[in-house]
Amino acid sequence: MLHRRTFLWAAGLALALPRTGMAQAFDHGHGAWTALLRRHVVLLEGGKASQLRYAGMASERAALEAYLATLSAVAPAAFEVWSKPQQMAFLINAYNAFTVKFVLGRYPGLASIRDLGSLLQSPWKQKFAPLLGATITLDAIEHDMLRARGRYDDARIHFAVNCASIGCPMLREEAYVPDRLEAQLDQQVQRFLSDRSRNRWNAGARKLEVSKIFDWYGDDFRQSRQGAGSLEAWFATHADWLADGAAERELIRARQAPIGFLDYDWKLNDARG
């Protein structure tokens, strides 16, 4: 795993090295990634969920590798002078694109991304992605960079990074781009919370049932601007998307809804055929 000291070293390197033309040369529109996603992402449930045609991605492996090469070519010094939206879009797209490459390494012979791991090593802790001057893990991109306290502090990244699983928030049908990042992240939150297979009001149990993501990463939501120290507070600001009935929404807004966590579906988010 890329430890935090390595990432801090990269940050310091930006101050020591002369600035290059990379910040201008890099395509912050991530056009090559968008082109692949538009061809192979299949939207479901009215756009609230998606699956990916991995077979289609496999047929365009050269285009995927070419895009990943542009990410790998970015030096730490160049990255550090970018704006925060540019950095976040870069890291989210890198996580998603490298995840697709990781899956294709054994596709079609796997049912879940967890099949790429072992008893001794999680798939997310395998070093295979050349990025920002090191060969790193998916965990490094997500936890050491995107979730690093004091850097971006944006819980919405959990609805943008895609772990190649049915239970995960959808893989977006386009790349994340700096000039629309706020709107894209807000839409991802709305899409995920509105998907009743992942988040819903259970009328029989009279409780709010939400994705396990809110259990695993609860502190990110509690410490967010909308969290105010509790998951209940975060859900209160999103009540309109979490329940379909007016009475249930009012319970959520009033922070009076008991919370339960749903099982996570780790099956590959593959759109076959």
At residue 228, the pLDDT reads: 75
Task: Indicate whether 56 and 158 sit together in one domain.
Answer: yes
Task: Indicate whether 67 and 162 sit together in one domain.
Answer: yes
With cut-offs at 50, 70 and 90, classify the pLDDT of residue 23.
very low
| Residue at 146 is within a domain | yes
Question: To which H or E segment does residue 66 belong?
Answer: helix 61-72
d(CA 35, CA 55): 16
pLDDT tens track for 214-253: 999 999 999 987 777 899 999 999 999 999 999 999 999 9
The count of domains in the chain is 2
At residue 8, the pLDDT reads: 47
Q: Of 243, 138, 225, whose CA–CA distance to 185 is shortest?
A: 225
Task: Indicate whether 152 and 80 sit together in one domain.
Answer: yes
With cut-offs at 50, 70 and 90, classify the pLDDT of residue 5.
very low
| Residue at 190 is within a domain | no
Task: Indicate whether 172 and 204 sit together in one domain.
Answer: no
Do the beta carbons of residue 190 and residue 241 sit within 8 Å?
Answer: yes
Task: Indicate whether 53 and 148 sit together in one domain.
Answer: yes
Neighbours of 44 (CB within 10 A): 15
Whole domain around residue 255: which residue ranges? 199-264
**Strand residues in 102-247 grouped as ranges (E):** 129-131, 134-136, 200-202, 207-210
Task: Indicate whether 51 and 172 sit together in one domain.
Answer: yes
Task: Indicate whether 239 and 124 sit together in one domain.
Answer: no
Task: Indicate whether 204 and 172 sit together in one domain.
Answer: no
Q: Of 54, 50, 57, whose CA–CA distance to 33 is shortest?
A: 57
| Residue at 123 is within a domain | yes
d(CA 131, CA 157): 19
Task: Indicate whether 34 and 148 sit together in one domain.
Answer: yes
What is the phi/psi pair of residue 133, to 5°? 85, 10
| Residue at 189 is within a domain | no
At residue 234, the pLDDT reads: 96
What is the phi/psi pair of residue 229, to 5°? 90, 0
Q: Tell me the average pLDDT across 31-45.
A: 98
Which amino acid is located at 256 in the chain? Q
Do the beta carbons of residue 92 and residue 161 sit within 8 Å?
Answer: yes
Task: Indicate whether 85 and 159 sit together in one domain.
Answer: yes
Which amino acid is located at 148 in the chain? A
